[in-house]
Amino acid sequence: MYITKKHLSRRTILRGMGVGIGLPLLDSMIPAQTPLSKTAAKPLSRLCCIEMVHGAAGSTVDGSAKHYWSPEKEGRDFEWSQTLEPLKDFRDYLTIISDTDLLPAGAYHENEEGGDHFRSSSSFLTASHAKMTEGADLFCGTSIDQLYAQQFGQDTPLPSIQLCIESQYASGSCDYGYACVYSDTIVWSSPTQPLPMTIDPRMAFESLFGDGSTAEERAARQRMNGSILDRITHRVTALQKDLSAQDRGRLNDYLDDVREIERRIQKIEEHNTSGVARALPAAPVGVPDSFDEHVKLMFDLQALAFQTNTTRVSAFKMSRDVCQRVYPDSGVKTPFHSCSHHNEVPTRIAEFAKLNRYHVSLLPYFLEKLKKTPDGDGNLLDHSLILYGSPLGDSNAHNHIRVPIFLAGHAGGGVKGGQHIRCKPGTPMANVLLTVMHKVGVNLDKIGDSTGDIAI
């Protein structure tokens, strides 16, 4: 049988007016019996870093004894803790790492006492201590997502994406002598350059599927009631003529996903401009009032970005320190920040654990989407590494001890999953960050206060 080496480029983009749609991996992009076929089967790992603020009930003395976060048993026969039980269907992909400390997020000097909420996020992915300043002389560290992007991001249309859920102050000073930007972002491209995070799903959608055309063209396209896919119909039709039946099916499924996300965003915008009272009146028009809906949209966009190789790295900030949001779907009526300040009362710690569980319960939606998406010789979850955690431990005590953290995904075979690792007391959380970097192919000797890798 004659096997042609003619193939579709992995970087193919379907373009229309103000639109640039990347494609998922198709069989047509993998010419048989060539070196590229082996590369496509084992693609570079994607990296996703997710922060949830305010620590966890399981980091308290009472919550640790009751195993709210960390399982009691170590190794592969661990039982599910109350907080992590929603992840049970992904046991083989999960690596729970307990008892690491993020001390650079704490106070180094007496005058820094009390500012833990305003240092924490800046330390989460840098393991570095934020300089106490309200001015422009910011200083922290380079975050691991950007270390990855600096090595691999030039091969993709977007080096990285940064998304968030809660509103940002963006400028000015917050409290305890710290600039607001320290708690507005978890992403630092250098020790002096924090990167903004996108809260509006519409803006995130545009960053993925816009082609760099003018703002006027993008605005004109949005005024049309149709889909962005209407702008590339002729391109899709021409492409499909040269695809196999399997590739046509995969392409159609992908375009259906894009259209469905776009439809959801349009529906949110229509609702928010209809004149009805909003639960979040200060939020951008594209932001839904529902926390669940907002988080799922952002997960969908990250999954599409990974599927199309638009980027291989994302950072997702699911809340902001001192946030007082109430989450109706959690069954907890106490506002988030107030709930985290439980005064070490066992019943209130238990309530906070319930809220932690709710936040974790949103992750399976993302993990399932990645698992169902074919990628090379496996799926996107096989070829991804997701870090989820918080830079605070016991938020009532404002400490950074026993910080809650876990990994999901196999990183292309580099991480086995299905285990609980309990570290020696005092192990830096930076060791987790260093290990993550090594597992996704970034060579570093040290990050922050790291002392070595964790055996995962």
Going by pLDDT thresholds of 50, 70 and 90, the confidence category of residue 331 is very high
Separation in Å, CA 75 to CA 45, 98, 318, 418, 419: 25, 12, 29, 8, 5
Percentage of the chain exceeding pLDDT 90: 75
Q: Is the residue at 318 inside a domain?
A: yes
Q: Are residues 359 and 84 in contact, defined by beta-carbon separation less than 8 angstroms? A: no
What confidence score (pLDDT) does residue 226 get? 66
pLDDT of residue 385: 98
Q: Per the domain annotation, does 418 fall within a domain?
A: yes
Q: Domain check: are 66 and 189 in the same one?
A: yes
Q: Are residues 121 and 216 in the same domain?
A: no
> Taking all residues of the chain, what is their mean pLDDT, rounded to a whole number?
91
326 and 236 in one domain? no
Reported confidence tier of residue 15, pLDDT bands at 50, 70, 90: confident
Q: What is the pLDDT of residue 93?
A: 98
**Number of folded domains that form the chain:** 2
Give yes or no for residue 194 having a pLDDT over 80: yes
Res. 25: pLDDT tops 80? yes
Return the pLDDT at 175: 79
pLDDT for residue 231: 79
Q: Is the pLDDT of residue 38 over 60?
A: no
Cβ-based neighbour number of residue 358 at 10 Å: 18
- Residue 5: per-residue pLDDT: 43
Residues 65 and 120 in one domain: yes
CB atoms within 10 A of CB 376: 19
CB 402 within 8 A of CB 62: no
- Say if residue 166 is in the same domain as residue 231: no
Which pLDDT band holds residue 41 (cuts at 50, 70, 90)? low
**pLDDT tens digits along 216-237:** 665 665 555 568 888 788 888 8
Residue 302: inside a domain: no
The pLDDT-based confidence of 91 (bands split at 50, 70, 90) is very high
The band of 453, judged by pLDDT with boundaries at 50, 70 and 90, is very high
* 51-82: pLDDT as tens digits: 999 999 999 999 999 999 999 999 999 999 99
How do residues 353-410 score in pLDDT, each as one tens digit? 999 999 999 999 999 999 999 998 899 999 999 999 999 999 999 999 999 999 999 9
In a domain, 456, yes or no: no
Burial class (CB in 10 A: 0-12, 13-18, 19+), 154: exposed
What is the helix (H) or strand (E) element at residue 203, kind and residue range? helix 201-209
Q: Which of 39-43, 46-50, 69-73, 419-423 has the lowest mean pLDDT?
A: 39-43
> Token digits for 247?
């590739």
**Paired tokens of 54:** 């305010």
Are residues 162 and 61 located together in one domain of the fold? yes
Residue at 6 is within a domain: no
Q: Which of 286, 303, 334 is the last residue of a domain?
A: 286
| Residue 435 included in any domain | yes
Residue 36 has pLDDT above 80, yes or no: no
In a domain, 355, yes or no: yes
108 shares its domain with 237: no
pLDDT above 90 (res 443): yes
Tens digit of each residue's pLDDT (9 = 90 or more) over 220-279: 655 555 688 887 888 888 888 888 888 888 888 888 999 999 999 999 999 999 999 998
Quick one: what percent of the chain has pLDDT higher than 70?
A: 91
Q: Does residue 188 sit in the same domain as residue 250? A: no
The reported pLDDT for the residue numbered 2 is: 31
Alpha-carbon 124 to chain mean position: 13
| Terminal Cα distance for the chain, rounded | 44
- For residues 61 and 176, membership in a common domain is answered with yes
pLDDT (mean) for 201-220: 76
CATH number, domain with residue 321 = 3.40.720
Q: Of 39-43, 236-240, 279-283, which range is least confident?
A: 39-43
In this prediction, residue 230 carries a pLDDT of 80
94-141 pLDDT tens trace:
999 999 999 999 999 999 999 999 999 999 999 999 999 999 999 999
Residue 162 vs residues 123, 211, 299, 361, 374: alpha-carbon distances, Å: 16, 18, 12, 22, 24
Mean pLDDT of 10-19: 76
pLDDT band (50, 70, 90) for residue 172 = low
Please tell me whether residues 142 and 58 are part of one structural domain.
Answer: yes
Residue 157 pLDDT exceeds 60: yes
User: What pTM was estimated for this model as a whole?
Assistant: 0.93
Is the domain of 119 the same as that of 74? yes
Residues 193 and 75 in one domain: yes
pLDDT on residue 102? 98
Question: Could you list the residue range(s) of the whole structural domain that residue 176 is in?
Answer: 24-29+43-199+311-439
Residue 279 lies in a domain: yes
pLDDT of 416-429, one tens digit each? 999 999 999 999 99
- Joined together, the tokens standing for residue 297 give 């949209």
Q: Are 322 and 168 in contact (CB under 8 A)?
A: no
